[in-house]
């Protein structure tokens, strides 16, 4: 099914998405497939330095930005649970006069309707693309309402901008005050995701329509925790819709995807997006497996169900409990129906992580009569442990501990153990490290643009939830909670969206590109042990995992310099990809002629530098950048470079002097391969830092540098050139 994309047709030039039309109609600019997308599924703010023991210090970005007052944050997701305390409007003033949105809900049921207030100021749903895919009968299974029946949208929106709610917890775990990144901001919910169809919940036609509405309504920031497989930008509804939003001053923050840890899995790769990976924070929910030999293995869980203390149960592998009609692979993963009730009854069953949902494995053990679940990582997921609200006593252990557990089980005829109740542990180390599920670079659409851009907390995030689903989100779960703990780049995305809202409140004249630059150039790449950030196997992570690094909101408030980007820059970028005027018209209304000599894609004024096609012969390659002074005046910055292995890097000029705030300076970065010091086709990493001196108030404007030497130049984009 194809849908019309018309540009410059309604809302004074804003984006419009319409139903099926004649592709030859003169008002049709572009017709493209209605692709499906997937949803990418409160200690974090203290971990990010915005508060300390519940106190907000004067240097916190919260205090400086007045918690995001005056800003409007929208969310493209599964809707909203308006009764959640995170969306209370107690004590809030009138809705901003510039707001043009609506609270539109045509549900015939009073229970399904969404009523807005002075906090939740907008609620709309978009389902024509979904209905066109599943048919009207299929769409009828999902009530036409902005009310969130899934929980994902409520969780993400409250993470971005939920109000302070004391006593938040899940089954008593993580107890404290819940709050979003910009708790003083207003919020609007745009429901674009529905009951899954063939693995997709959110469709391009609905996504584009929601972007259109958000632009018209007057949002400042959009949090978009969804995405599809990487594809050319002119075929991607998120890329197209977000381009128009960014051109109209809306910062769009997206999730990187949950397809890691494989290379080249990152989605939402367009350079006008802020693409967020997921990493851990310094809070865990440890639940111990105590073995018959008295050894203890630490895992994580949020299961509220206890086993009788000090009573040991037989430990068996899920393969030992295989049902007669199941395969070994199915039993190993504890797929539904793969376990024999006679073999599993009364035992703790050890299952392997992978394929089906972690909580589904617990339900499979529970239905087979097992009393407990041990979920063991495979080698790819390494040391990443995720606390889930299992329906039975359970713990999730690392790969290395899984190997040790297997050795114990093979050493005795009657392996036994019991699982302790979880507790809440703070200030754990190391943190952050990258989540195994977080999708990674390189960018397979435009390798000249590093993606993801940034990483933020995305593991075991506690936030508001729907009243229509249990904490596992599965049909068998009849439990209901006010707050839920979830993990994914869907959870890290709204953290950065909230921070973007604070920056917009603090610097209302900044463009989306300037806000992104401030976030990217002020990051850290060390954990709380002062070692380089690692991946889930505790090996050193790279910018393909974390982008520019781990977000530091307080530093982002005063970045010193920003890499700004305007419409002309993006036009030159699209021209460099070989897009013709017809394709560019999908993104830009008005004059869009390419220059006679288009610039290279890597010359886009981006806060990171990636050169994926450096000649092995030593031939130089130069990229240009420009920075604007947003700090003190006058100011002088000197550059320092940590060169990638086997590559020489020179920056000219090496000193930038600014006479006034707002002044811009351009510089060039030249790369050369060093003979015999590189592996052809291998990516290597370095960094470039502009600094204005020493002392506590100095600025360090840091950009990751990524280079690949000796690879053949390829381009995924194939479009006719005018």
Please write the tens of the pLDDT for every residue from 471-491.
Answer: 999 888 999 999 999 999 999
Q: How far is CA 264 from the centre of its chain?
A: 16
Q: What is the mean pLDDT of residues 63-89?
A: 98
Topology agreement, domain 55-282+433-554 and domain 286-419 = no
Q: What is the mean pLDDT of residues 345-351?
A: 98
pLDDT at 310: 72
pLDDT at 11: 30
CA atoms within 13 A on the CB side of 1: 18
Which residue among 490, 517, 537, 703 is the active-site one? 490
Which residue among 37, 40, 152, 396 is the active-site one? 152
Q: What is the mean pLDDT of residues 346-375?
A: 97
Which residue among 30, 37, 60, 77 is the active-site one? 77
Geometric angle at alpha carbon 620, from 615 and 626, rounded to 5°: 120
Rounded Cα gap, residues 47 and 45, in angstroms: 5
pLDDT-derived band of residue 678, with 50, 70 and 90 as boundaries? confident
Which residues, other chains included, contact 536 with Cβ-Cβ below 8 Å and sequence gap of 6+? 261, 381, 382, 383, 384, 433, 434, 435, 436
With 90 as the cut, is the pLDDT of residue 719 above it? no
Q: What is the mean pLDDT of residues 508-513?
A: 98
Q: Where in the chain are the domains?
A: 55-282+433-554, 286-419, 566-602, 604-721
Rounded Cα gap, residues 495 and 180, in angstroms: 8
Please write the tens of the pLDDT for every residue from 246-288.
Answer: 999 999 999 999 999 999 999 999 999 999 999 999 999 999 9
Rounded Cα gap, residues 77 and 426, in angstroms: 31
E-strand stretches of 29-78? 30-33, 36-39, 72-77
Respond yes or no: is residue 638 known to be catalytic.
Answer: no
In the three-class reduction of DSSP (H, G, I as helix; E, B as strand; rest coil), residue 307 is classed as coil
pLDDT at 227: 92
Structure tokens at 623: 């990229």
CB neighbours of residue 530 within 10 Å: 7
Each as own residue / partner, the long-range contacts of residues 406-410 (CB below 8 Å, 24 or more positions apart, any chain) are: 406/317, 408/291, 408/293, 408/295, 409/315, 409/316, 409/317, 409/350
pLDDT at 494: 98
CB neighbours of residue 431 within 10 Å: 20
pLDDT at 107: 53
With 80 as the cut, is the pLDDT of residue 142 above it? no
Distances in Å between the alpha carbon of 526 and those of 287, 493, 686?
27, 20, 15
pLDDT-derived band of residue 721, with 50, 70 and 90 as boundaries? very low
Structure tokens at 165: 């709610």
**Minimal CA–CA distance to 532: which of 669, 687, 397?**
687
E-strand stretches of 472-525? 483-486
- Would you list the DSSP string of 275-287? EEEEE--SEE-EE
pLDDT-derived band of residue 21, with 50, 70 and 90 as boundaries? very low
Architecture of domain 604-721: Sandwich (2.60)
Respond yes or no: is residue 152 known to be catalytic.
Answer: yes
Respond yes or no: is residue 411 known to be catalytic.
Answer: no
Higher pLDDT, 219 or 617: 219
Residue 683 bridge partners (DSSP): 708
Q: What is the mean pLDDT of residues 209-232?
A: 96
Q: Are 560 and 543 in contact (CB under 8 A)?
A: no
Please write the tens of the pLDDT for every residue from 303-340.
Answer: 999 998 779 999 999 999 999 999 999 999 999 999 99
Rounded Cα gap, residues 337 and 324, in angstroms: 10
With 50 as the cut, is the pLDDT of residue 718 above it? no
Mean pLDDT value across the chain = 91
pLDDT-derived band of residue 54, with 50, 70 and 90 as boundaries? confident
Q: What is the mean pLDDT of residues 622-627?
A: 98
Q: Which of the four CATH numbers 3.40.50.150, 3.40.50.450, 3.40.50.200, 3.40.50.720 does domain 55-282+433-554 have?
A: 3.40.50.200
Q: What is the pTM of this model?
A: 0.92
Q: How far is CA 144 from the centre of its chain?
A: 27
Rounded Cα gap, residues 258 and 203, in angstroms: 18
With 90 as the cut, is the pLDDT of residue 567 above it? no
Core vs surface per residue 230-245: b (16+ CB within 10 A) or e: bbbbbbbbbbbbbbbb
pLDDT at 144: 87
- Would you list the DSSP string of 588-612? --S--PPPSSPPPGGGS--SSEEEE
pLDDT-derived band of residue 143, with 50, 70 and 90 as boundaries? confident
Rounded Cα gap, residues 89 and 625, in angstroms: 44
Higher pLDDT, 110 or 402: 402
Q: What is the mean pLDDT of residues 608-624?
A: 95
Higher pLDDT, 192 or 22: 192
Q: Which of the four CATH numbers 1.10.443.10, 3.40.640.10, 3.50.30.30, 1.10.10.10 does domain 286-419 have?
A: 3.50.30.30
Q: What is the mean pLDDT of residues 643-652?
A: 97
Distances in Å between the alpha carbon of 353 and those of 344, 512, 588?
18, 39, 45
Residue with tokens 């050193």: 540
């Amino acid at each position: 099914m194809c849908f019309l994309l018309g540009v410059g047709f309604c809302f004074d030039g804003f984006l419009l998405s319409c139903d099926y039309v004649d592709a030859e109609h003169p008002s049709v600019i572009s017709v493209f497939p209605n692709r499906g997308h997937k949803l990418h599924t409160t200690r974090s703010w203290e971990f990010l330095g915005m508060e300390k023991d519940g106190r907000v210090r004067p240097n916190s970005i919260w205090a400086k930005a007045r918690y995001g007052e005056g800003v409007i944050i929208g969310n493209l997701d599964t809707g909203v649970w308006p009764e959640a305390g995170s969306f209370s409007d107690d004590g809030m003033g009138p809705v901003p006069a510039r707001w043009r949105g609506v609270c539109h809900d045509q549900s015939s049921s009073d229970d399904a309707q969404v009523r807005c207030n002075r906090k939740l100021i907008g609620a709309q749903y978009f389902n024509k693309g979904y209905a066109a895919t599943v048919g009207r009968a299929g769409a009828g299974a999902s009530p036409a309402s902005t009310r969130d029946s899934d929980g994902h949208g409520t969780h993400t929106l409250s993470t971005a901008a939920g109000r302070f709610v004391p006593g938040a917890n899940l089954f008593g775990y993580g107890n404290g005050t819940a709050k979003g990144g910009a708790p003083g901001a207003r919020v609007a919910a745009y429901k674009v995701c529905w009951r899954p169809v063939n693995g997709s919940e959110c469709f391009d036609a609905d996504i584009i329509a929601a972007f259109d509405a958000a632009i018209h309504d007057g949002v400042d920031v959009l949090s978009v925790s969804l995405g599809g497989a990487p594809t050319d930008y002119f075929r991607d509804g998120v890329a197209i819709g977000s381009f128009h939003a960014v051109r109209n001053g809306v910062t769009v923050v997206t999730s990187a995807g949950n397809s890691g840890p494989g290379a080249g899995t990152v989605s939402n790769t367009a350079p006008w997006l802020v693409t967020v990976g997921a990493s851990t924070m310094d809070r865990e929910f440890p639940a111990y497996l105590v073995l018959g030999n008295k050894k203890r293995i630490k895992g994580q869980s949020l299961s509220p169900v206890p086993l009788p203390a000090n009573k040991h149960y037989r430990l068996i592998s899920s393969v030992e409990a295989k049902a007669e009609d199941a395969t070994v692979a199915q039993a190993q993963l504890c797929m539904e129906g793969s376990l024999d009730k006679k073999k599993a009854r009364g035992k703790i069953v050890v299952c392997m992580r992978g394929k089906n949902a972690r909580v589904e494995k617990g339900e499979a053990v529970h239905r087979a009569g097992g009393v407990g679940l041990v979920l063991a990582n495979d080698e790819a997921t390494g040391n990443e442990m995720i606390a889930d609200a299992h329906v039975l006593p359970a713990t999730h252990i690392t790969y290395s501990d899984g190997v040790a557990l297997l050795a114990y089980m093979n050493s005795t005829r009657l392996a036994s153990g019991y699982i302790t109740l979880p507790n809440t542990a703070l200030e754990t180390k190391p943190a952050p490290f990258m989540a195994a599920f977080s999708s990674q670079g390189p960018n397979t659409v435009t390798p000249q643009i590093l993606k993801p851009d940034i990483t933020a907390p995305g593991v075991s995030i506690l936030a508001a939830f729907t009243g229509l689903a249990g904490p596992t989100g599965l049909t068998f779960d009849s439990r209901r909670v006010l707050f839920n703990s979830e993990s994914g780049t869907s959870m890290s995305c709204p953290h950065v969206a909230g921070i973007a809202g604070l920056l917009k409140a603090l610097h209302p004249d900044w463009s989306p590109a300037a806000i992104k630059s401030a976030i990217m150039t002020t990051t850290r790449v060390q954990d709380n042990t002062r070692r380089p950030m690692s991946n889930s196997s505790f090996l050193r992570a790279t910018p393909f995992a974390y982008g520019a690094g781990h977000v530091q909101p307080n530093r982002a408030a005063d970045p010193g310099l920003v890499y700004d980007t305007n419409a002309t820059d993006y036009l030159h970028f699209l021209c460099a990809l070989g897009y013709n005027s017809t394709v560019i018209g999908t993104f830009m209304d008005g004059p869009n002629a390419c220059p006679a000599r288009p610039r290279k894609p890597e010359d886009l004024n981006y806060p990171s530098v990636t050169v994926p096609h450096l000649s092995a012969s030593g031939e130089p390659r130069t990229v240009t950048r420009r920075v604007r002074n947003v700090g003190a005046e006058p100011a002088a910055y000197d550059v320092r470079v940590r060169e990638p292995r086997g590559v020489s890097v020179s920056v000219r000029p090496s000193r930038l002097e600014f006479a006034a705030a707002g002044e811009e300076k351009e510089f060039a970065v030249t790369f050369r391969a060093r003979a015999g010091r590189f592996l052809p086709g291998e990516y290597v990493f370095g960094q470039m830092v502009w600094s204005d001196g020493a002392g506590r108030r100095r600025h360090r404007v840091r950009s990751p540098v990524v280079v690949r030497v000796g690879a053949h130049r390829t381009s995924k984009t194939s479009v006719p050139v005018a």
